[in-house]
Amino acid sequence: MKELIEQAKQAVATAQKIVVFTGAGISAESGIPTFRGHGGLWKEYDPNIYADINYFRQDPTYYWSFFRDVRVQGLVNSKPNAAHKSIAELERRGKLITVITQNIDGLHQSAGSKDVIELHGNTKLIGCQECEADYIFEDIRQQIEEQMPPRCEKCNGVLKPRVVFFGEALPDGAMEAAAQHTAECDLFIVVGSTLAVYPAASLPLVAKRNQTALIIINLGETAMDEIADIRIDAKAGEVLSEIVGLKQQ
């Protein structure tokens, strides 16, 4: 492990244009459960139901109950951890082109990252399904305690977080921008993702096709372990703070 971390340290030190690609695992040390892997939500809440747009249209109550019971805690209590902070530090040092995240928790921005592509949206932004009115989480917090599903105060339409459900398109231009940065970088680092959700998971393949070095930091196996130049199976916060040399607070 020590040797792998040393190799990753060297790769980061010599790289000039890094892209970091993150998934749910990076936020696990902030107390937000992942889908898959140890302690993942998958077993309790089937994402083929609660994260499927067709199911949501039939019965938005199931999703909103999950949001109230699981997501609200994460939104209110979670703080960026050493992994988010290390990545923000790479940006401050001028080494990072962008963070591409599958996460919807906004913790990269809370850690100070400015250049963040959110492939799957952001759970703090809420939209009306009928009239497209915008809300933020705080606007509807009270309502979801009292009424299921929460509704638009202008037209009574059902509200939905502006996150990408299975069966929905990614936000306009997000994948194109992510692919462009991936093509430009000289080091691509995956953090906390099983690399199972497409099209996002195609990005490490784009990097490898361009002969860009690929580091994967993930607790547990991923779908692309075999093509990684450096594969570190450990907790993101501990590993990244060592690689970046971030002082533990």
- Member of 11, 100, 104, 216 binding ligand NAD (CB under 6 A): 104
| Minimal distance, residue 99 CB to ligand NAD, in Å | 13
Binding-site member from 40, 60, 80, 204 for ligand NAD (CB under 6 A): 40
Q: What is the DSSP letter of 33?
A: -
Name the one residue in this structure whose structure tokens are 């690929």: 214
Confirm or reject binding of residue 35 to ligand NAD (CB under 6 A): yes
The minimum distance between CB 55 and ligand NAD, in angstroms, equals: 16
CA of residue 56 relative to chain centroid, distance: 21
Count the site residues for ligand NAD by CB under 6 A. Answer: 28
Structure tokens at 230: 């450096």
**If you count DSSP H runs as helices and E runs as strands, how many of each does the chain have, helices first?**
11, 9
Name residues contacting ligand NAD, limited to 72-101 (CB under 6 A): none
Residue 161 interacting with ligand NAD (CB under 6 A): no
Residue listed under structure tokens 């030190």? 13
Sole binder of ligand NAD in the list 69, 196, 209, 210 (CB under 6 A) = 196
Give, as ranges, the residues between 42 and 71 that touch ligand NAD (CB under 6 A).
none
What token pair was written down for 88?
């923000």
Nearest distance in Å: CB 222, ligand NAD? 6
36 touches ligand NAD (CB under 6 A) = yes
What is the torsional sign of CA 155, 158, 160, 166? negative
Is 105 among the residues that bind ligand NAD (CB under 6 A)? Answer: yes
Tell me which H or E stretch contains 190. Answer: strand 187-191
User: In 162-178, which positions are buried (b, 16+ CB within 10 angstroms) versus exposed (e)?
Assistant: bbbbeebebbeebbeeb
Please say if 181 is a catalytic residue: no
At which residue do the structure tokens 């994967």 appear?
216
Active site residues: 120
Residues at the interface with ligand NAD (CB under 6 A): 23-25, 27-29, 32, 34-38, 40, 102-105, 120, 192-194, 196-197, 218-220, 235-236
